[in-house]
Amino acid sequence: MTETSSAWRNWAGNVVVRPARTVAPNSAEELAAAVRRAAADGLRVKAVGTGHSFTAAAATDGLLIRPERLTGVREIDRTAGTVTVAAGTPLKRLNETLSAHGLSLTNMGDITEQTVSGAISTGTHGTGRDSASIAAQIRGLELVTADGSVLACSEKENPEVFAAARVGLGALGVITAVTFAVEPEFWLTAREEPMPFDRVTAEFDQLAAENEHFEFYWFPHTGNCNTKRNNRSPGPAAPPSPLSAWIEDELLSNTLFRALCALGRTAPATIPPVAKISSRALSARTYTDIPYKVFTSPRRVRFLEMEYALPREAAVAALRELRAMIERSRLRISFPVEVRTAPADDIPLSTAAGRDTAYLAMHQYRGTSHHAYFSAAEQIMTAHGGRPHWGKLHSRDAGYLAGVYPRFDEFRALRDRLDPQRLFGNDYLRRVLGA
């Protein structure tokens, strides 16, 4: 185990901390020993993933536990249909390893840079009619708790810890391994298609019901959306040609997009006319590939993000209100608003806990003030009973969150039992959990 002391910053660069001590353990035992030593020295403890959260969820002034040595596959159990990996394994490596064994997760988010433990801890999700977040695909967890012991949990072992720790916000302990349910690798056919805002919003329920994975992006200052429908298919693979992939995924979605965002930051008046042109640049295309190559894509332009989970039936009204708010205001927004769905799940602090959900995600280019946009958007989202993504910017506190999570007190009671001294506490958790 290496031990250092240097500053840590998140991907977006809006959270910078200087922990008293930083370690990168090789094993659950080493990690547990580091936790015990920190407790004895009076330091609080936080594990970080790859810092892809925009909130200070992973911030600490005490012991910071880095993920990079706690990686790799521990076990593939084909009979049970599960794969166990060390907690610091990046999703990218998990996906590639699963694919090499002819296996796949059922659903995932937009990118694959995060660690498995970081991704599940804040409820990272993609879009799905029947399949839910990454945390909902877990069958077991191994956790180092505040007393320094290593606790195995699943539906059979320590089931109440398992239920809550799947989206645990880093508040219940440090995860050292995760067991995922996996399935034989399948083909997904993606259909990307521009569509007018009025049509997407009018047909949203139907599009979400008819497709296994439906999402769309609305381009502010325009009536244009880009839709994406992913459905299982018999194959074979028919990926986009290298030239088309480069044009759509690198040139238009990253290189040119970054240049236009930078232009908009310097000259905000250019944003609406540029949006009208750039929102039409992406053309319709259909392709078929293995799941992670269809679900995920590179995101190289740095931004800040807020995302709210709404009751599914409120999504269209909220999006229309967001559009009206932007049109009434002097705001100039160069990033699209992303809309996704998830079925209700049974994880106490999952943003989709107990209700069919639609997600609305607002982004702002890094270096552009996001406060006015996010706070006006947040008023709309909270008026609809929205739940903020735990890893994305928001201003909610425990008083609000207790009202939108029916099992909030169940989570807090478990935390009181597992971590009465708040060894795993930080300022973010004090705000969102209330102590």
- Residue 407 C-beta: closest distance to ligand FAD, Å: 19
124 binds ligand FAD (CB under 6 A): yes
- Residue 51 C-beta: closest distance to ligand FAD, Å: 4
Q: Cα–chain-centroid distance for residue 127? A: 11
107 binds ligand FAD (CB under 6 A): no
Near ligand FAD in 160-179, by CB under 6 A? 169-170, 174-175
Return the structure tokens found at 355. Answer: 């209700």
Using DSSP's 3-state secondary structure scheme, residue 413 falls into helix
Which residue lies nearer to ligand FAD by CB, 58 or 272? 58
How many angstroms separate the CA atoms of 179 and 296, rounded?
Answer: 21
- Residue 268 C-beta: closest distance to ligand FAD, Å: 23
- Choices 16-24, 103-111, 229-237, 393-401; region in contact with ligand FAD by CB under 6 A: 103-111
242 CB-near residues (< 8 Å, 6+ apart)? none
* Rg (alpha carbons) of the chain, rounded to whole number: 21
204 CB-near residues (< 8 Å, 6+ apart)? 315, 316, 339
Q: Which amino acid is at 114?
A: Q
Element containing residue 177 per DSSP (H, E): strand 174-181
Tell me how far CA of residue 147 lies from CA of 151, 174, 278, in angstroms: 10, 11, 54
- Residue 157 C-beta: closest distance to ligand FAD, Å: 18
Q: Which amino acid is at 168?
A: G
Instruction: Select from 43, 111, 393, 432 the one that contacts ligand FAD (CB under 6 A).
Output: 111
Name the DSSP letter for residue 192: E
- Choices 76-84, 114-122, 210-218, 414-422; region in contact with ligand FAD by CB under 6 A: 114-122
Tell me how far CA of residue 206 lies from CA of 129, 135, 211, in angstroms: 11, 27, 9
How many angstroms separate the CA atoms of 338 and 225, rounded?
Answer: 10
Beta strands (DSSP E) in 10-105 are 16-17, 21-24, 45-47, 63-65, 73-77, 82-86, 103-104
Which residue lies nearer to ligand FAD by CB, 163 or 272? 163
391 binds ligand FAD (CB under 6 A): yes
Do the bridges between strand 63-65 and strand 45-47 make them parallel or antiparallel, or are there none, so unpaired?
parallel
Near ligand FAD in 127-156, by CB under 6 A? none
- Residue 23 C-beta: closest distance to ligand FAD, Å: 12
Residue 90 · residue 182 · CB < 8 Å: no
Instruction: Select from 66, 125, 166, 363 the one that contacts ligand FAD (CB under 6 A).
Output: 125
Q: Cα–chain-centroid distance for residue 67? A: 17
Instruction: Select from 28, 32, 45, 47 the one that contacts ligand FAD (CB under 6 A).
Output: 47
DSSP per-residue string spanning 78-104: TTTTEEEEETT-BHHHHHHHHHHTTEE
Tell me how far CA of residue 282 lies from CA of 22, 114, 147, 225, 237, in angstroms: 44, 27, 53, 10, 22
Instruction: Select from 8, 11, 180, 408 the one that contacts ligand FAD (CB under 6 A).
Output: 11
Which residue lies nearer to ligand FAD by CB, 204 or 303? 303
Instruction: Select from 17, 98, 119, 414 the one that contacts ligand FAD (CB under 6 A).
Output: 119
Instruction: Select from 61, 110, 248, 356 the one that contacts ligand FAD (CB under 6 A).
Output: 110
339 binds ligand FAD (CB under 6 A): no
21 binds ligand FAD (CB under 6 A): no
Instruction: Select from 82, 122, 201, 382 the one that contacts ligand FAD (CB under 6 A).
Output: 122
Q: Which of 340, 346, 335 is nearest to 309 (CA)?
A: 340
208 binds ligand FAD (CB under 6 A): no
Instruction: Select from 23, 38, 43, 58 the one that contacts ligand FAD (CB under 6 A).
Output: 58
Which residue lies nearer to ligand FAD by CB, 47 or 272? 47
Contacting positions for ligand FAD (CB under 6 A): 11, 46-53, 57-58, 87, 109-111, 114-115, 117-119, 121-122, 124-126, 169-170, 174-175, 299, 389, 391
